Amino acid sequence: MGSATLTIDLDAIVANWRALDAMTNCETAAVVKADGYGLGAARVAKALAQAGARRFFVAVAEEGGVVRDALGPNADILLFGGHMRGDTDMINDLHLTPMLNSLDQLTRHFEALPSAPFGIQLDSGMNRLGMEAIEWEAVRDIVLSQNPVLVMSHLACADEPDHAMNTQQLAAFRKMTDGIEAPRSLAATGGILLGPQYHFDLTRPGIGLYGGLPFEAASPVATLSLPLIQTRDLQAGETVGYGNTWTTNTTATIATLSGGYADGLLRALSGGATLWANDIACPLIGRVSMDLITVDISHLHEVPRHLDILGPGQTVDALAEKADTIGYEILTSLGSRYTRRYAGGFAQ
């Protein structure tokens, strides 16, 4: 097999959802945007629906269509991006629920789909999406009279528990929403870990479902195995890869593996990442190229058929640290050429 194999443990995703759900006394939704953080929104959503999740968040209407096709009519699918121009037919036909972010979106939705469900997103200080306090104050009574299904905001620094922004945003959100009857939501994964005062009526875990920080107790979800294409023995002084960025100072055995930046293995991993032969670490040497990487396997007793870059030896966040990025980027960059295998009882 020429392509690498990405194995996704659906049981682990479900276990992570259940663990986060157990930390709260409210409803726990699931965020499956960006194709389920790169792991397959349809399969992930199906597993979580079987486990009891009833609300699913995506970024845009097109992603909502994928999840609707997978889950059928009974799940609630909410759009963080709201009601964008040109989305009206898709929102109506697929029974999607936009989280309206602005006065323009509010007007568009009320005029085009006056009886369709909607939610509201408020800006509590992140300055990204959502109505600001002055806008919300102007339309609050009108909006609440139309019974929004949810009023939400998003925390900017929830992965830093001691950051002052968390309490500032909590206070701002409470000021804008205390006393309303509509359900409220503020917490994603990091917000769940901040404690009950951030939970309100619904939480929206994302990265924690997929084994990423800040949920340190998460079960690992993804294993990425790269097949070995070729080996070669080098003499001292020989170089490897583009730019001659690695030179061996002794004899060495180098493996060329199928996988590169076209598959989401970031170029920033060049010369710094580690792959694993079971429990033996093997350094990535030279540059990551489009389709290939090279690894020093001189210390192995036998040539392996594959090496793992994600798995028991290396979590997604450990790999991200090698590229000076975050686990989100590693997962959502995973390419389309991988052979994807779904494992666990929820894969049946």
Structural domain contains residue 4: no
Taking residue 329's Cβ as centre, other Cβ atoms within 10 Å add up to: 15
Q: CATH number of the domain at 146, please.
A: 3.20.20.10
Give the pLDDT of residue 206: 98
Give the CA distances from residue 251 to residues 18, 82, 96, 239, 303, in Å, rounded to whole numbers and listed in that order. Answer: 51, 59, 61, 11, 16
Q: Is the same domain home to 156 and 25?
A: yes
Q: If DSSP codes are grouped into helix, strand and coil, which group holds residue 308?
A: strand
Per-residue pLDDT reduced to its tens digit, 276-324: 999 999 999 999 999 999 999 999 999 999 999 999 889 999 999 999 9
Q: What is the Cα–Cα distance from 216 to 232, expressed in whole angstroms?
A: 39
DSSP 206-249: -GGGGT-TT-TTPPP-EEEEEEEEEEEEE-TT-EESGGG-EE-S
Over residues 73-101, the mean pLDDT reads: 97
In the set 175, 210, 242, 322, the catalytic residue is: 242
Same domain, 63 and 195: yes
Residue 1 domain flag: no
Q: Is residue 2 part of a domain?
A: no
What is the distance between the alpha carbons of residues 127 and 143, in angstroms, rounded to a whole number? Answer: 21
3-class secondary-structure state, position 7: strand
In terms of Cα–Cα distance, which of 329, 330, 39, 27 is closest to 13?
39
Question: How confident is the model over 238-251, as a mean pLDDT?
Answer: 95
**Mean pLDDT (whole number) for 227-245:** 96
Residue 219 has pLDDT above 80, yes or no: yes
Q: What is the CATH number of the domain that holds 284?
A: 2.40.37.10
Q: Is 198 a catalytic residue?
A: no
Q: Which of 210, 236, 252 is the last residue of a domain?
A: 210
33-62 pLDDT per residue, tens: 999 999 999 999 999 999 999 999 999 999
- Choosing from 33, 328, 338, 342, the catalytic residue is 33
Average pLDDT over residues 88-107: 97
Same domain, 293 and 313: yes
Q: Is residue 197 part of a domain?
A: yes
Q: Where are the alpha helices (DSSP H) in 216-338?
A: 316-322, 327-332
- In terms of domains, do 142 and 17 share one? yes
Q: Are 136 and 233 in the same domain?
A: no
pTM beyond 0.85: yes
- Residue 217 in any domain: the answer is no
CA distance 16 to 11: 9
Whether the per-residue pLDDT at 348 is higher than 80: the answer is no
127, 182: one domain: yes
Nearest to 257 by CA among 235, 286, 280, 219: 286
Judged against a pLDDT cut of 80, whether residue 1 lies above it is answered with no
**pLDDT classification of 2: cutoffs 50, 70, 90:** confident
| Number of domains within the chain | 2
Mean confidence (pLDDT) of the chain: 96
How confident is the model over 146-165, as pLDDT tens digits? 999 999 999 999 999 999 99
- The reply to whether 180 and 294 lie within a common domain is no
**Per-residue pLDDT reduced to its tens digit, 168-207:** 999 999 999 999 999 999 999 999 999 999 999 999 999 9
Average pLDDT over residues 127-134: 96
For residues 91-111, give the mean pLDDT: 97
| Residue of 95, 93, 63 whose CA lies nearest to 76 | 95
Q: Which two tokens stand for residue 82?
A: 């709201």
pLDDT category at 222 given cuts 50, 70, 90 is very high
* Residue 75 within a domain: yes
Report how far apart, in Å, the C-alpha atoms of 281 and of each of 111, 125, 299, 321 are. Answer: 60, 44, 9, 16
Q: Which domain holds residue 85?
A: 10-210
Tokens of 318: 């450990």
pLDDT at 347: 82
pLDDT score for 3: 86
